[in-house]
Structure 1
Amino acid sequence: MRVLSASDPGDTNKANEDWFSASPRLIVVLDGATARTDTGCRHGVSWYAAKLGSVTGTLAADLETPLKEALKTAIEQVAEMHKECDLNHPGTPSAAVSILRVNGSAWEYLVLGDISVVIDQQAGKPVVVTDTRVDSTARPERDEVDRHLIGSPEKQAALLRMKHAELAARNQPGGFWVATAIPTAADHAIVGSVPLDKVQRLAVLTDGAARIVDLFGALDWPAVLDNLSTHGPAELIRQVRTLEGADPQGARWPRNKRSDDATVVYAA
């Protein structure tokens, strides 16, 4: 199995808050959540995503460890790495997490937060695993954000209100779950497996790349896999950037910011 990957920051003046590690038998992708408020942490979202990603990958490489347990332990260990920070702060750094690994005769997967895992089986229709719970929270605030153009003062004020509403629902019953400093968030991850001999190809996309389907509607998931097979992840991200550039203020496709960090891992 060959593995191709690409990652591109949404803003070249800021650190990429995505993180990934990819091999033919283990793929880990994280999407750090943009901090629009204070975090109580001096390290930042990129630091958190990188530390959590590397520890998660190490623990998930042990095939005897269930994926939820690997993530739970990783969250605990990273919390110990910066316990001088205020880890009880409502805005403490967080990240969506996905893990894919070969274990015996199956590909196992875990998804926590808004990362998309796309697995193409021999039957022809890909299995798409996406945690959409975050999109179901703070709906009035999200709708208000979408009414304003990117870069406007009204947009910025609405984004801040949305962020506060999101944080109130983060890692709460009835809300959504992501990795922070609370290990039990891992218990709420979506997990499953697909027989190894049924998998033809697969892909993992952070939401900044998945917007080519979810937001722009330029491709469907089978077309994404075909695109990746022919052109590779960097070209898919380039196509996303082209669409973003055609609508810089979000008038046609309302969104929180013009461009988001985008990461794609493809294996076939």
Structure 2
Amino acid sequence: MRFDLIQSLSLAGEAGIPNDDRAGARDTLGWVIDGATDLGPPGLVGSRGGAAWLADEASAALAHAADAPAGEMLAALAMRMAERFAEARAREPVGRWELPIAALLLARLAGDALECAWLGDCAGLLRRTTGEVVRLGRLPVERDRETELAKSLASHGLGTIKGRDDAVIETLRGTRERPGLVVLGVEGATDGAEYQRAACAPGDELLLMTDGFAALVDSYDAYDAAALMAAVARDGLAPLALQLRAIETGDAACTRFVRFKTSDDATALWLRIGG
């Protein structure tokens, strides 16, 4: 079996700020990467932000990685990012919070099954030809935690992170310092990585999403998993992206759906399994 690319879409959260998401697909591998928003100015890896740098490097590495079981591929990717960071680093980080990190979900075809591995909160949906929809990746526990944190800081103003230097940024930096973060980083570790194996067959369809796009299901309750896959099959990704942004611009103050940014980078990759 192989992956056939049907559509891909990636939107920056703000048109004036670079998109830190990446996605890609090759014959038997698909992936989405969500670079975590930088909490300080560029400089650690040169003039480019660390989130975009890490997402770019990881996506390029996966595009050329040797085929291997998903867990081995993830471990090799983590080591490669540590090596590339050692080469690219321009100075010592101000704190651990400045180290680039990202969420990642990769899906690999292996015989008659789909192997998934992930770090962080990217999400996937597998729609079988029977109509059954299987959730891939972590349930939105981390997004729930982020929502609660945003609520606790709402008095400082929500809707944007970049360019700020206040209690919101200091708190977010503190969360990056805590031990046990489950992310793709530059320290060579895959601690907390999770894995999943699901039966699949030609004709099944796969939707891989960063959390900015998965918000349609996980945060805004615009769809459940089955309804989202039905909408993708019926209309494609572009109308869903418009709906996503309409929900967010209609709540620009982030009061109905409490969140740090009015709109996050949002990426989706729609693949079909071919025989």
User: Would you call these one fold, judging by a TM-score over 0.5?
Assistant: yes
Q: Match for residue 62 of structure 1?
A: 67
Mapped contact 2:150–2:258 kept (Cα < 8 A): no
Q: Does 1:215 align with 2:224?
A: no
Partners of 1:97 and 1:152 in 2: CA distance:
23
- 1:154-185 per-residue CA deviation (whole Å, 9 max, x = no partner) reads x973421331221122xx23xx211221111x
Mapped contact 1:86–1:92 kept (Cα < 8 A): no
The residue identity in structure 1 corresponding to 2:270 is: Y
Mapped contact 2:81–2:185 kept (Cα < 8 A): yes
Q: Match for residue 30 of structure 1?
A: 33
Partners of 2:117 and 2:156 in 1: CA distance:
35
Once the two structures are overlaid, the 10-residue window that deviates more, 193-202 or 26-35, is 193-202
Q: Match for residue 122 of structure 2?
A: 115
Q: Match for residue 176 of structure 2?
A: 167
TM-score normalised to structure 2 length? 0.83
Q: Match for residue 182 of structure 1?
A: 187
Partners of 1:177 and 1:143 in 2: CA distance:
23
Q: 1:230 to 1:116 in 2, by over 3 A?
A: same
- 1:249-268 per-residue CA deviation (whole Å, 9 max, x = no partner) reads 11211111111110001112
Q: 1:19 to 1:103 in 2, by over 3 A?
A: same
Q: Match for residue 234 of structure 2?
A: 230
Displacement of 1:197 = 2.4
| Aligned pairs for 1:1-268 within 5 A | 2-3=4-5, 4-37=7-40, 40-42=44-46, 43-44=48-49, 45-59=51-65, 61-63=66-68, 66-86=72-92, 89-90=95-96, 91-121=98-128, 122=130, 124-130=132-138, 132=140, 134-135=142-143, 141-146=149-154, 149-150=157-158, 157-169=166-178, 172-173=179-180, 176-184=181-189, 186-197=190-201, 200-268=204-272
Percentage of matched positions with identical amino acids: 23
Partners of 1:77 and 1:235 in 2: CA distance:
40
Partners of 2:215 and 2:145 in 1: CA distance:
19
Q: 1:177 to 1:131 in 2, by over 3 A?
A: farther
Displacement of 1:190 = 1.1
TM-score normalised to structure 1 length? 0.85
- 1:105-150 per-residue CA deviation (whole Å, 9 max, x = no partner) reads 2211111111012122447242232265644767864331345643
Q: 1:108 to 1:140 in 2, by over 3 A?
A: closer
Partners of 1:231 and 1:258 in 2: CA distance:
25
The residue identity in structure 1 corresponding to 2:170 is: R
Mapped contact 1:120–1:199 kept (Cα < 8 A): no
Once the two structures are overlaid, the 10-residue window that deviates more, 220-229 or 42-51, is 42-51
Partners of 1:74 and 1:261 in 2: CA distance:
25
Partners of 1:145 and 1:251 in 2: CA distance:
12
Partners of 2:93 and 2:160 in 1: CA distance:
32
Q: Give the number of aligned pairs.
A: 261
The residue identity in structure 2 corresponding to 1:62 is: D
- 1:209-255 per-residue CA deviation (whole Å, 9 max, x = no partner) reads 11111211111111111111111122211110011111111121111
Q: 1:233 to 1:12 in 2, by over 3 A?
A: same
Partners of 1:56 and 1:88 in 2: CA distance:
29
Partners of 1:244 and 1:123 in 2: CA distance:
30
SS at match of 1:167: helix
The residue identity in structure 2 corresponding to 1:71 is: L
SS at match of 1:37: coil
Once the two structures are overlaid, the 10-residue window that deviates more, 222-231 or 38-47, is 38-47
Partners of 1:134 and 1:219 in 2: CA distance:
19
Partners of 2:78 and 2:68 in 1: CA distance:
15
Segments of 5+ residues of structure 1 without an aligned counterpart are none
